[in-house]
Structure 1
Amino acid sequence: MISRRIFAMVALAGTALAATAPQVSAQGAGYDKQKVVYHINYNGGDDNKSYKGALRNIQNHINAVGAENLEVKVVMHGNGLGLLMAAKEDDRLQTSVGSLKSQNVGFNVCANTLKGRNIDYSNDLYDVWEEDIVPSGVAELSKLQQQGYTYIKP
């Protein structure tokens, strides 16, 4: 298993390479339409680095495939709700979440976690609406995979 530190170094190296790599269109790269679900159930670490990295992964995915060729859902439960809690105070997270939402990325929040941790989504989480709440984060992951979504854990 790759440690978070090694993963972070690889991610940073990949980001640097992506910045200097020639831009290739989704068609030129051979990408067909994709449906993916990103699973976030961990805490963000120092300065929310893990959350910011996950959101960067999603944006890089969109950049590679094209928003018009991609259906993306982010399912958060457990410690993963920390992403939207932290976004209440972190401008970079707010910008990233808002940008992804503007590209039709859906953010789903687990009702079980809200209830179990006594979290008020309208006051404690950034930009969450009733229609964003799913009964169970893990059940939603399974449902989406049954619908053909590819599972990704950044």
Structure 2
Amino acid sequence: MTAIASFLQHAATLARRASRLIAMPMAALALALSMPAVAQDDAQRVVYHVDFADPTRYSATLTSINNLINDAEQTLLPWDVHLVLVGYGIRFATDDPLEGTPYAADEALNERRDELKGRLQTLIEIRNVKVHLCDFTRQEINLSKDKLYEGIGLVNSGVAKIADLQRQGYAYLKIQ
């Protein structure tokens, strides 16, 4: 074999090896880009959705949030928990009886209102849970902003907020 032929054969072998070295990282990059966006760390990122009237179900939601945070603390994971109130969820954001609206307080809510409010305030103030109320719902019944519990933020659309958080990799939970 001539020196030129040997050189060309060696160059072809190097080219094949180089193409494999380039192809593998490119394939890994393509796979990574095709996967859904997820958080870069192990934080518990969750959005809870409340659009129901039942105080017992709402209580179960608050318990679930607390349990999730307790678990995160025990496993030394950070957390970022959001609670989004839409529709009937407005009942749990105010002491106003909401008379004359589809969301009017009933006996079951009135009996538990102080307890539920206290648990929510603890989650907001101590556990750093972010609570959002759909402003479309609030405006629908003309409830003044100053009648909302301390620490509840308004978002234009509750469902849009949930969708946005899901796009950011938050898990969606709704207690049944």
TM-score (norm 2): 0.61
Which one of 106, 111, 130 corresponds to residue 135 of structure 2? Answer: 111
Q: Does 1:121 align with 2:145?
A: yes
Instruction: Report deviation, 1:128.
Output: 4.5
In the comparison of the two structures, how many residue pairs are matched?
118
Identity of paired residues, percent?
Answer: 32
The 8 Å contact of residues 47 and 170 in structure 2, kept in 1 or not, is answered as: yes
What's 1:7 paired with? Answer: none
Q: Residues of 2 paired with 1:93 and 1:77: CA distance?
A: 17
Instruction: Report deviation, 1:84.
Output: 1.7
The 8 Å contact of residues 86 and 93 in structure 1, kept in 2 or not, is answered as: no
Q: Deviations over 1:3-29 (max 9, x none)?
A: xxxxxxxxxxxxxxxxxxxxxxxxxxx
Secondary structure (helix, strand or coil) at the match of 2:128 reads coil
TM-score (norm 1): 0.69
The 8 Å contact of residues 73 and 105 in structure 1, kept in 2 or not, is answered as: yes
Corresponding letter in the other structure for 1:112: F
Q: Residues of 1 paired with 2:79 and 2:67: CA distance?
A: 12
From the superposition, tell whether residues 148 and 110 of structure 1 become closer, same or farther in structure 2 (CA, over 3 Å).
Answer: same
Q: CA RMSD in A?
A: 2.3
Instruction: Report deviation, 1:58.
Output: 0.5
Corresponding letter in the other structure for 2:164: K
Which one of 74, 91, 101 corresponds to residue 82 of structure 1? Answer: 91
Instruction: Report deviation, 1:126.
Output: 2.1
What's 2:159 paired with? Answer: 138
The 8 Å contact of residues 87 and 93 in structure 1, kept in 2 or not, is answered as: no
Which one of 58, 63, 69 corresponds to residue 62 of structure 1? Answer: 69
Secondary structure (helix, strand or coil) at the match of 1:85 reads coil
- Displacement over 3 Å in runs of 4+: 86-89
Q: Residues of 2 paired with 1:122 and 1:105: CA distance?
A: 20
Larger radius of gyration: 2
Secondary structure (helix, strand or coil) at the match of 2:142 reads coil
Secondary structure (helix, strand or coil) at the match of 1:109 reads strand
